[in-house]
Amino acid sequence: MNKAIKYRLYPTTKQATMFANTFGCCRKVYNLMLNDKLESYKLTGKFVSVTPAMYKKDYQFLKEVDSLALANVQLNLQGAFKSCFNKSCKKKTGFPKFKSAKRSRKSYTTNNQKGTVAIIDNTIKLPKIGRVKAVIHRQPNADWVIKSATISQDNDGKYYASVLFEFEQNIISVPISDNAIGLDYASDGLYVDDKGNVGTNHKYYRESHKKLTKEQRKLSRMKGSKKGEAKSNNYIKQLHKVNKIHKHISNQRLDNLQKISTEIANQYDVVCVESLNMKAMSSKGFGNGKSTLDNGYGMFLNMLEYKLADRGKYLVKVDKWYPSSQICHCCGKKHPEMKDLRIRIFTCDCGFTISRDQNAALNIKNEGLRILKSETFAA
């Protein structure tokens, strides 16, 4: 199995300069390789094979940074072309684009070769950089082997190292039982479970919206805010303030989702959810895109998936077209009028009255258990 742990880095001025140079060289090599591929396709109709070593003669500064970081850029470009043209590839992306110095993520990945990447006391050893001071909040187990490290810098200026470990682990699957929970997505509370409990009452973006608006308004009035205008020092300082607020909101949301998903994974053996298209739901036409994005429901499902898998438990995704909100949990009668989202109380002729979301969660739970048991029986 593979598992990554993300550590906060505190580089010296010299090390931060080296990080910046490596970020820039990786971006430069990516753009050079992509440009040569496009030019060869125009001339021959085929994409030529390219390597970072081809450009080191013309661009001597490429020799100053970690060669494995440049080699991983080549692999990233190959992966981008594969996901674009390979029909069997699960993750579909568009055609590879050139990386921008302003908008592209500042990061690079290096591999561990005979101890070139290591955790030593309160530092992380990296090729060409040396030992960088870090907060080692979690020590890996003795049998874990370091495979690689991804160095990144966020918009607020902080540095991180995501260290990937490889280890052996035998996961024993938990027997399928009725210790299950059904979760129905709710834009105003992340989810509603089959017992009627709401996931979270926090809307972190909205809670910080007033403060963020104030700082963004200051930023828009400073010299350098207009297109093509030189960025002033005050503009850069204010931009860091805005980015810091955005990061704070993101960290709050992430921390909350981690705690909720861990609690559910520890408590239940089977978790049943809907396979929703969150990108479509966050679109302008749906009407509540800000709430959808503020929830982080997609991240929440990803967390549940790997945490349940680590424990040998099950995450079952019910088809998004399953009419969970229209079926009476008590008698099974279908109510097409429940397509109207304004109806919040489900009332059936059999006398069953319940919250719309709780009824949907109960139906999702039953359908999820049915799917899981049928798949197990078929296997």
Catalytic residues: 184, 274, 357
How far is residue 230's CA from residue 36's CA, in Å, rounded to a whole number?
31
What residues have CB less than 8 Å from 314, skipping those under 6 apart?
174, 176, 269, 270, 271, 308, 372
What residues have CB less than 8 Å from 32, skipping those under 6 apart?
50, 55
First to last CA, the chain: 24
Give me the numbers of helices (H) and strands (E) for the chain, helices first please.
9, 13
Token pair 């810091």 is found at 244
Q: How far is CA 55 from CA 18, 32, 379, in A?
A: 20, 8, 53
Token pair 């140079």 is found at 21
In terms of Cα–Cα distance, which of 357, 272, 359, 271 is closest to 319?
272
What is the maximal distance between C-alpha atoms in the chain? Answer: 80
In terms of Cα–Cα distance, which of 205, 188, 196 is closest to 341?
188
What is the DSSP-derived secondary structure letter of residue 327?
A: B
Q: Which residues of 195-232 are buried (b: 16+ CB within 10 A; e: fewer)?
A: eeeebbeebbbeebeeebeebeeebeebebeeeeeeee
What is the DSSP-derived secondary structure letter of residue 131?
A: E
* Run of H or E residues at 328: none
